[in-house]
């Protein structure tokens, strides 16, 4: 399969590297990383070590069987515009936050799939991605159910050795992931702590409150996600990623825009009833962003 990975940061580079063992992959990202990959290939280090030679560029190619979108959620609209001029068979979002698939689907003629990804990656230096944790890609139609496209993309990922599940319940899975991100990302970014600091004490209580509020909003939207399921998933991710610095913490530390609008801000905007914890986290992160 001819696959363009748009957003070759840490996770995009790792997925692209794994897929390049089996498929024709083009990484689309920023220099100097893309320049180094084009010249010397991509080195994957850590859980597995190997070198692959995907194509690498800074703009989207003219065509691909599949575009895997891994950019930050605030760049989705711009990427959707670029991909609209590209001949695509299908598109898969593996991004954080909600609303990305709708933005892509509004601009593209091809089927758009939703995905979640729990693989861990870190971009150490141009040309090298650290594979920090084996996870799973779960993908399927964003509105739920099954599709031939989802099966085909799932088989292509599985064939490249990426742990993949093709799921018929993506709305529930996307809301569950949103609950985890709403619980962990803003709290760790504001308190400047690793995910493991939310394992007990006041951090755990704050994370659980944010997860419960998100589960309630999911149910308001007709998605079956129990409060305690959202809290348990959050606890599990905190345990599994205890040493991680969340993506939002990394954004805040680097003075970059965060994904707050697609995470806690999305919960606030979608809620029928007040969600004070998500609202406070959103306001605090937006205040931090304005100060940078
Ligand atoms: O955004 C992140 O950092 C990750 O999605 C997660 C699961 C919170 C782990 O750090």
Specify the CATH number for the domain of residue 199: 1.10.1040.10
Q: Are residues 241 and 155 in the same domain?
A: no
Element (H, E) at 23: none
Q: Are residues 192 and 134 in the same domain?
A: no
* Domain stop point among 166, 193, 208: 166
Of the candidates 167, 173, 190, the residue with the CA atom closest to the CA atom of residue 264: 190
pLDDT at 190 over 90: yes
Q: Are strands 128-133 and 42-46 parallel, antiparallel or unpaired?
A: parallel
pLDDT at 124 over 90: no
Give pLDDT tens digits for 63-111. Answer: 999 999 999 999 999 999 999 999 999 999 999 999 999 999 999 999 9
* Alpha-carbon span 248 to 192, nearest angstrom: 10
Q: Are residues 135 and 183 in the same domain?
A: no
* Domain stop point among 166, 184, 211: 166
Structure tokens at 23: 């498929």
Give pLDDT tens digits for 232-286. Answer: 999 999 998 898 899 999 999 999 999 999 999 999 999 999 999 999 999 999 9
Structure tokens at 168: 């018929």
Give pLDDT tens digits for 162-178. Answer: 999 999 999 999 999 99
| Residue 90, number of CB atoms within 10 A of its CB | 22
Mutate to test the pocket of ligand 1, among 96, 133, 186 (most ligand atoms within 8 A of CB): 96
- Supply the CATH number for residue 64's domain: 3.40.50.720
Q: Are residues 11 and 143 in the same domain?
A: yes
Secondary structure letter of residue 109 according to DSSP: S
Q: Are residues 21 and 153 in the same domain?
A: yes
Q: Are residues 41 and 153 in the same domain?
A: yes
Q: Name residue, tokens 């758009």.
A: 112
pLDDT score recorded for residue 137: 98
pLDDT at 288 over 90: yes
Q: Are residues 270 and 250 in the same domain?
A: yes
pTM of the model: 0.94
The answer to whether 63 and 86 have CB atoms below 8 angstroms apart is yes
Structural domain including 77 reads 2-166
123 CA from centroid of ligand 1 (Å): 15
Secondary structure letter of residue 248 according to DSSP: H
Q: Are residues 16 and 75 in the same domain?
A: yes
* Residues β-bridged to residue 162: none
Q: Are residues 159 and 284 in the same domain?
A: no
Our answer to whether residue 177 is catalytic in this structure is yes
pLDDT at 133 over 90: no
**Could you give the residue ranges of the DSSP H alpha helices within the chain?**
10-19, 33-40, 76-84, 100-107, 148-159, 170-191, 201-220, 227-240, 247-253, 264-270, 276-291
185 ligand 1 Cβ < 6 A: yes
The answer to whether 213 and 199 have CB atoms below 8 angstroms apart is no
Question: HSE (CB half, 13 Å, CA atoms) of 2?
Answer: 9
Total structural domains within the chain:
2
Q: Is 276 exposed, middle or buried (0-12, 13-18, 19+ CB in 10 A)?
A: exposed
Mutate to test the pocket of ligand 1, among 177, 237, 258 (most ligand atoms within 8 A of CB): 237
258 ligand 1 Cβ < 6 A: no
Q: Are residues 119 and 85 in the same domain?
A: yes
- Closest C-alpha residue for ligand 1 atom 3: 246
The answer to whether 182 and 264 have CB atoms below 8 angstroms apart is yes
Q: Are residues 119 and 149 in the same domain?
A: yes
128 ligand 1 Cβ < 6 A: no
Q: Are residues 152 and 200 in the same domain?
A: no
Using only C-alpha atoms, what is the Rg of the chain? 18
* Domain stop point among 116, 136, 166: 166
């Amino acid at each position: 399969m001819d696959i363009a990975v748009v957003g070759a940061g840490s996770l995009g580079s790792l997925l692209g590297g794994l897929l390049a063992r089996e498929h024709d992959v083009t990484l689309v990202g920023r220099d100097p990383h893309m320049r180094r990959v084009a010249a010397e290939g991509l080195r994957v280090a850590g859980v597995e070590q190997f070198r692959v030679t995907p194509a690498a560029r800074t703009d989207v190619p003219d065509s691909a069987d599949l575009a895997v979108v891994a950019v930050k959620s605030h760049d989705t609209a711009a990427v959707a515009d670029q991909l609209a001029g590209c001949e695509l068979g299908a598109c898969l979002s593996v991004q954080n936050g909600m609303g990305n698939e709708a933005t892509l689907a509004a601009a593209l003629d091809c089927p758009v799939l939703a995905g979640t990804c729990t693989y861990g990656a870190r971009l150490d230096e141009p040309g090298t991605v650290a594979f920090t944790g084996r996870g799973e890609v779960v993908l399927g139609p964003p509105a739920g159910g099954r599709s031939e496209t989802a099966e085909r993309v799932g088989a292509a990922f599985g064939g490249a050795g990426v742990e993949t599940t093709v799921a018929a319940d993506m709305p529930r899975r996307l809301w569950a992931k949103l609950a985890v991100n709403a619980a962990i990302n803003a709290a760790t970014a504001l308190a400047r702590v690793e995910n493991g600091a939310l394992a007990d004490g006041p951090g755990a209580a704050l994370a659980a409150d944010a997860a419960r509020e998100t589960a309630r909003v999911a149910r308001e939207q007709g998605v079956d996600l129990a409060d305690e399921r959202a809290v348990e998933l959050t606890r599990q991710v905190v345990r599994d990623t205890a040493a991680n610095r969340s993506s939002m913490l990394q954004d805040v530390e680097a003075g970059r825009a965060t994904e707050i609008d697609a995470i806690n801000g999305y919960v606030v905007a979608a809620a029928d009833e007040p969600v004070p914890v998500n609202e406070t986290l959103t306001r605090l992160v937006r205040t931090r962003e304005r100060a940078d």
